[in-house]
Structure 1
């Protein structure tokens, strides 16, 4: 076994031991949390538990999501974190399907996670303990010599070399192979309890499709109403004015030909303004810059025009479906508009990258934060656009900032 292979085995065992140590820490935390959850559930009978139990379940969700995030390295299939609860009432928390999985995982983790975690961490440290104990055989009384493994006493340097060295080699083998096996066993157990079943995944998928379909229909209706309003209040009004001016010029032509010139001039100006408004209106439906320069070029132009000083970090995107380009373009545009109008940000940044078949955009600003979907239609519109292309929008905007809006859309051809 060469040096690089040895380093690989040691590094893998060290990572596994770290996973086991964290699993043991989570297990011990759950040993404390589970009785608190039970006590709070009983207190729901008198009303007090209705206030404290949701907070405790959110803490449990944080522990469970931390475990879900760590499963990818050791479990056969990674598990996506369930995310924080969207609402704080007990009914809403309990209605979340992931809460049931969290509660199912907690007692198993408290017992099996603690035991497996401690065993894995101790196995990694076992060679050091063997080396120290064998080297300090002389500290122990002669009538009670040290027995490290297999109940074989070590009472001199001869027995330390004859017995201690093989025991140390055996402990090293256990340290290199034991923690990874235990980490995989613990991760597989956690994933079985924390990951949704195939039926649950299908049900959540159907619910998400129904929700996005409803959102897409609503967004489509809102868009049609916006188009009708913009055409009625803008372009149509200018065209009516243009027709009136041309009619007046027609009637004036016979009686006062010299007055027709100014009327035609105003009519031409009105026609030019109507065409400009119509061009702006068409850009709001599908920006021509997307067709001309692609998504990266279009967002570079948006960032350059942003009233807030902004930076763009654009990676290689490859071929992106047109509907995804539109959704991401308008999401970034709306996020930067919100940063300039409502967040009072001093700077912003846009990061756009593609990982496999997923396009990910992240818009960050250093404003005052506190953005929420209930405060206006901007974020709701962004979410509808993104979910209409089967994407995901996440908003992190604590009071005081910063605000981070993440958009992830599938872009497989």
Structure 2
């Protein structure tokens, strides 16, 4: 019970601090907005300034702030920010400033000239002329304004942040336009990925299986020609053809496994992931919830994503352990692969992340990679699975 209360106190203290800092920043940016309003009439400047505020508000509320930002809404936000942000920020400044006055200046009231001594509660204009007024009145002022800073300022900050996100929220038409753009890009990516996959399969069949079949045909032809002249060589040629045929079957099976892993059909996604973890040279801890029935396409993409992620952990992360968490919430499948490696994953170095993004985007999913230098690395994927 004590630990719960302590966590709640820490959370409230963090809210009070972040809310106060947010409102003081709001006052400063409101003044800057008012002074730079002619500059903000230009759409690029207005959008950049509004986007900065939107991300700031999203961080305070702990919600994502994304979507296309139009010039008109950015300009409307500049005007609303001056009208609302300035009084809210000024209220925070007065509250915190008077706490500072009460805490620092009032104990030193005697050091001020008689006509310039500090006052308590600006509205009541209570002058400090003795120690009783300084100590009692100062304590009351600190308590009242401290309670306001603890309870009221975080609420005002969150109201301002919600107003910011509401004013700058994309319209339904803008969301539809952005959605169409995303689907267009993902379709292009899917087409490119499909073409690359066909080229890879063709190359594997041409360089592997087809070459083996040509060798078998040559060996059988030589055996037929040697049947009358050198019967003893026929057995050796047939043995070679048999070995080559087995090798061709293995290579063909390998190619087919890359199209749709047979283990998914044989053991399902649960068994396939367990097999991946067992084969991994890095120990993998699996947390697998009940996923229910999944479409075959979703299972295949999930298997590919996890296989590629564990391969990256083995080859690039220098990790000692990894963890795989996969769960389903309604119609959304969530996958998370983490490792304790060195981090710093760079998609430009060919670590397979672009391929993961293309496959997930084809199902209208999302990929998030968090890999700071020094680790840990987290790959989070969400896909619709209705």
TM-score greater than 0.5 by the shorter chain:
yes
Kept in 1: contact 2:106–2:134 (CA 8 A): yes
Q: For 1:79-228, what aligned pairs fall within 5 Å after superposition? A: 79-81=64-66, 97-98=68-69, 100=71, 105=77, 108-109=80-81, 112-113=84-85, 115-117=87-89, 119-120=91-92, 122-123=94-95, 126-127=98-99, 129-130=101-102, 135-139=107-111, 146-149=118-121, 150-157=124-131, 159=133, 167-228=141-202
C-alpha displacement at 1:190, in angstroms?
Answer: 1.7
Match of 1:25 in 2: 25
Q: Secondary structure of the residue that 1:123 maps to in structure 2?
A: helix
Kept in 1: contact 2:54–2:165 (CA 8 A): no
Kept in 2: contact 1:395–1:404 (CA 8 A): yes
C-alpha displacement at 1:274, in angstroms?
Answer: 0.7
Cα gap change, 1:211 to 1:144, in 2 (>3 Å): closer
Q: Secondary structure of the residue that 1:98 maps to in structure 2?
A: coil
Q: Structure 1, residues 188-239: CA drift from partner, whole Å, max 9, x if none?
A: 1221234323332233223323332343344334433433443344323323
Cα gap change, 1:155 to 1:338, in 2 (>3 Å): closer
Kept in 1: contact 2:318–2:342 (CA 8 A): yes
Structure 1: tracts of 5 or more residues without a match: 43-52, 73-77, 83-96, 305-309
Q: Secondary structure of the residue that 2:325 maps to in structure 1?
A: strand
Which of 59, 65, 69 does residue 55 from structure 2 map onto? Answer: 65
Q: Structure 1, residues 289-347: CA drift from partner, whole Å, max 9, x if none?
A: 5564646435435642xxxxx67565445428453453344345556778999xxx572
Structure 2: tracts of 5 or more residues without a match: none
Deviates more, 1:196-205 or 1:245-254: 245-254
Kept in 2: contact 1:20–1:116 (CA 8 A): no
Q: Are 1:408 and 2:381 an aligned pair?
A: yes
Q: Structure 1, residues 260-303: CA drift from partner, whole Å, max 9, x if none?
A: 21011011111110111012112211234556464643543564
Q: Are 1:300 and 2:277 an aligned pair?
A: yes
Q: Secondary structure of the residue that 1:70 maps to in structure 2?
A: helix
CA distance in 2: counterparts of 1:329 and 1:215, whole angstroms: 19
Cα gap change, 1:128 to 1:41, in 2 (>3 Å): closer
Match of 2:245 in 1: 271
Q: Structure 1, residues 56-86: CA drift from partner, whole Å, max 9, x if none?
A: 98797566434423222xxxxx23356xxxx
Deviates more, 1:198-207 or 1:108-117: 108-117
Which of 235, 250, 258 does residue 261 from structure 1 map onto? Answer: 235
Q: Structure 1, residues 23-60: CA drift from partner, whole Å, max 9, x if none?
A: 53366368669978976999xxxxxxxxxx89x98797
Cα gap change, 1:271 to 1:223, in 2 (>3 Å): same
Kept in 1: contact 2:343–2:371 (CA 8 A): no
Cα gap change, 1:26 to 1:158, in 2 (>3 Å): closer
C-alpha displacement at 1:396, in angstroms?
Answer: 7.9
Kept in 2: contact 1:362–1:404 (CA 8 A): yes
C-alpha displacement at 1:176, in angstroms?
Answer: 3.2
CA distance in 2: counterparts of 1:157 and 1:40, whole angstroms: 52
CA distance in 1: counterparts of 2:33 and 2:115, whole angstroms: 46
C-alpha displacement at 1:178, in angstroms?
Answer: 1.7
Q: For 1:303-382, what aligned pairs fall within 5 Å after superposition? A: 303-304=280-281, 312=284, 314-316=286-288, 318-319=290-291, 321=294, 322-331=296-305, 333-334=307-308, 347=318, 352-354=324-326, 357=332, 358-361=334-337, 371-372=347-348, 380-382=354-356
Cα gap change, 1:159 to 1:334, in 2 (>3 Å): closer
CA distance in 2: counterparts of 1:183 and 1:254, whole angstroms: 96
Kept in 1: contact 2:213–2:248 (CA 8 A): yes
Structure 1-normalised TM-score?
Answer: 0.67
Kept in 1: contact 2:212–2:244 (CA 8 A): yes
Aligned residues: 372
CA distance in 1: counterparts of 2:31 and 2:140, whole angstroms: 38
Structure 2-normalised TM-score?
Answer: 0.70
CA distance in 1: counterparts of 2:276 and 2:92, whole angstroms: 49
Match of 1:94 in 2: none
Kept in 2: contact 1:121–1:179 (CA 8 A): no
Q: Secondary structure of the residue that 2:382 maps to in structure 1?
A: strand
Cα gap change, 1:102 to 1:261, in 2 (>3 Å): farther
Match of 1:236 in 2: 210
